[in-house]
Amino acid sequence: MVAAMMIAVIFCIQYFYGRASLRKEAEQRAQSELRRAELEINVVAVETETMAKMLTTLAERDVDNKDSIVNATRTLLHSLKNVNCACIACTEYLFPEEGRWFEIYSSRQPDGNIQTLQIGGADHDYFQTEWYRNGVIIDSCYWSEPYMDYSGAHTMVVTCTHPIRNKQGDVVAVAGMDVSLNYLQLMSEYLQIYKDSYYTIRSREGLEIVAGIDTVPGRKYYVYDEYIEKTGWKISIIIPEDVIFEGLNKVRYIVEVLMVIGLALLIFIVWHASRDNKRLMVTTAKNQRMENELHIARTIQMAMLPRVFPPFKDRPDLNLYGTVDPAKEVGGDLYDFYVRQNKLLFCVGDVSGKGVPAALVMAMTRTLFRNASANEEDTAAIVSGMNKALAEQNSQNMFLTFFLGILDCETGKLSYCNAGHNAPVLLRHQKKEAEKLHVVANLPLGIMDDFIFQAQEVQMYYDDVIFLYTDGLTEAEDKNLKQYGDERMLQHLALISDSRPRTIIENMRTKVNAFVDGAQQNDDLTMLAIRYQTPAVIMSNDIQQIPLLAQWVNSLDIPEKQNMAVNLALEEIVSNIIFYAYPDKKGQIYVEFAKKTENEIVKTEKDTEDKERLSAVNGQLSTRLMFTITDSGIPFDPTKHEEVDISLSAEERQIGGLGIHLVRQLMDEIHYRREEDKNVLTLIKKI
Amino acid sequence: MTTQIQENGNQIIAKFSGRLDTNAAIQTAEDVKPLLEATKKDIILDCDALDYISSSGLRIFLKIRKEASANSSKVIVRNINDEISQVFMMTGFVSIFEIQ
């Protein structure tokens, strides 16, 4: 009897205790969902604020000039393809000839063009708007209340403003970046994970930014709130009770049934099991929330990195490959690159700290890099601009080491600015060795906003490779906490015989993994390799590949006038090789292009003897187009072919020999040499 | 690359369109067979739409010219562009073809 009573009591305690802990777990699940949404909104907020700041910087460059205000909005849209509108509203009578109102609004049209309008006026008195009134007095970024944008986008928006100041420090205008509520609404719908649940977002004043759906009367709902610091919004998640508990109810039933069926021993076992179960559920909830955050941060990070390789299919002179092997906790590594006007702009960075804050800084850095380098070629100036923006933002004392390089594809000159990052390694093709690039010890970004950065230069030659990495490589540790280190990295790099970037990186990854030998990776392993190479095309000895050759010639940087001559000469040589070099066998033909501009001293006979006359000789710039055709077929020297007599009559003319004749006519120099088992033919044309 | 042959009384016109490179020449050599058999005709090679010619193409033209000579036919080359003109000059073809 007593035993039964005891069992009943234990049963009751267990039931209620279990239910309470299940409720707690459900709460935590919902809250982690909320945090997820908050983080996503934060990313949008950070990006928008960054753009508002960039707009400010552009305008402040020449703030007394009306055209520069207009151009600032247009430049922003030109360089950031995902932004659809930008606006600058000037203070009263700032440009007297324009009158009292002057608000420039640039927007991207459906056909891709950018339309710029002046929308200020008596019918649109923006001085009365909430966003302007606050934007003008608040020191930094301000998020307005939602409003209907009649003059601009004709939809409900919130605006992120930033004050624009003149050299005396007075506010002369307000930069504004709009975020449409529609966009936020779509985003919250996209974020929804629980069935029948939804988010609402309310502004500081309680106005609705993202609307919820109607609740079903009689159904019980759980509501959780979070505040988004940056914008002052309150985001709430509303989940029906039964949805939260879905799945958990099953567990509850099993536990209860086990308890009911069991005798004292069963109850004892179940009591134990349910106790462990409870602990497990609590820790799983904690882990799950953390993993959710990490997952988001990881998604942010990976979305920022270029991952399509080869990235520039139509540029045979650039071969790039990059990878990030992420550690368990997000490390905030980044790399990025793009090509503009025959120059490759690239960067590598490592954000201090881990987790979501690091991922957010990384996202911001990427936007800053793209924007700051859009119209600027001086690497020190780009890095300074990024540094100022990051230092200003720096509430969490995050900083990042950063390396920026600009490679001029025509000349091979590499300008770079290193902000506290690991010195990249230069693999010289000629010397077949690996050495660290010399870098000046500039501070990392985000520490001192007025630090003066020094830029440097180095000359790259064909088939040189620059290898960039973060300290996830050099500080990779084995089980005894010994680090991989710089020395070992240089040694291993020097041993790799194939200079293709993908091969180098895969090789290094294998070597690091072998060194680490299963120990836990505690930092992102990031590598980017860039090879500057001679444009070349590889063909097989198949006559059907001739159009490929024509295509390749068209992709080169050759003046229109010389295009046909080059095309024809190369086709003649290559056809010859296809027909004769590889009898009954498959073979490859490799055609390389190089362009050399040199100072050619015009010599006359007497100069070489008369030294004084030499100093009076004129220098002239001459450019030569050089084509090297290599094949591993039977030895054949086309220069030895007999000259064709073009004065013969039609009846007397020989059918053969025309091809080589044409090559001799079209090119200025032809050189042949046999190298080991290869025929190497060089054609030179002076332009 | 396409070759269209049209007969017009005493004339036989071959219209070349595109790029007559070494690859295309294989098919063109087949397409021009009617021209090689024409006797006592005016063979007109219409190059208005011909963008480019390599030595394989030139060989085909030369073959047509030689056969015409043997068959008492005349060969006229029409409307070659500036670059193909240059090629004709480099190879001396300018003196063995009538160019209009």
Say what the ipTM of the complex is. Answer: 0.90
Q: Give the range with max mean pLDDT: A262-276, A316-330, A532-546.
A: A532-546
Q: Which residues contact residue A395 at a Cβ distance below 8 angstroms, ignoring those fewer than 6 apart?
A: none
A441 touches chain B (CB under 8 A): no
Q: Do B90 and A662 touch (CB under 8 A)?
A: yes
Give the nearest chain A residue to B63 (CA atoms): A655
Q: Write out the residue range of the structural domain in which residue B53 sits.
A: 2-99
Q: Which of residues 8-37 of B touch A (CB under 8 A)?
A: 19, 21-23, 26
| DSSP string of A315-332, one letter each residue | -TTEEEEEEEE--SS---
Using 50, 70 and 90 to split pLDDT, how confident is the model at A415? Answer: very high
Two tokens, residue A33: 């969902």
CA-CA distances (angstroms) from residue A344 to A177, A338, A347, A413, A530? 30, 6, 10, 11, 10
Residue A618 has pLDDT above 60, yes or no: no
Flag if A575 and B56 touch (Cβ within 8 Å). Answer: yes
Report how far residue A524's alpha carbon sits from residue A511's, in angstroms, rounded to the nearest whole number: 16
Torsion region of A608: left, alpha or beta (phi above 0 gives left; psi -120 to 50 gives alpha) = alpha
Name the residue with higher pLDDT: A343 or A37.
Answer: A343
Contact between chains at A651 and B66 (C-beta distance less than 8 A): yes
Mean predicted confidence (pLDDT) in A548-575: 87
Give the number of domains in chain B: 1
Least CB–CB distance from A658: residue in B59, B66, B69: B59
Residues of B in contact with A547 (CB under 8 A): 19, 21, 23
Residues of A in contact with B92 (CB under 8 A): 646-648, 653
A662 vs B22: CB contact, 8 Å cut-off?
no
Q: Which residues pair with A89 in a beta bridge?
A: A103, A174
Cβ–Cβ of B54/A572 closer than 8 Å? yes
B90: domain CATH number? Answer: 3.30.750.24
* Contact (Cβ atoms closer than 8 angstroms) between residue A425 and residue A437: yes
Mean pLDDT over B4-10 rounds to 90
pLDDT in tens, A591-606: 988 777 665 554 444 4
Q: Which of A112-116, A394-398, A482-486 has the lowest mean pLDDT?
A: A394-398
pLDDT digits (tens, 9 = 90+) for A441-481: 899 998 888 899 999 999 998 888 999 999 889 988 888 88
* pTM score of the predicted model: 0.49
Chain A partners of B21 at a C-beta cutoff of 8 Å? 546-547, 550, 571
Q: What is the pLDDT of residue A11?
A: 67
Q: Does A569 touch chain B (CB under 8 A)?
A: no
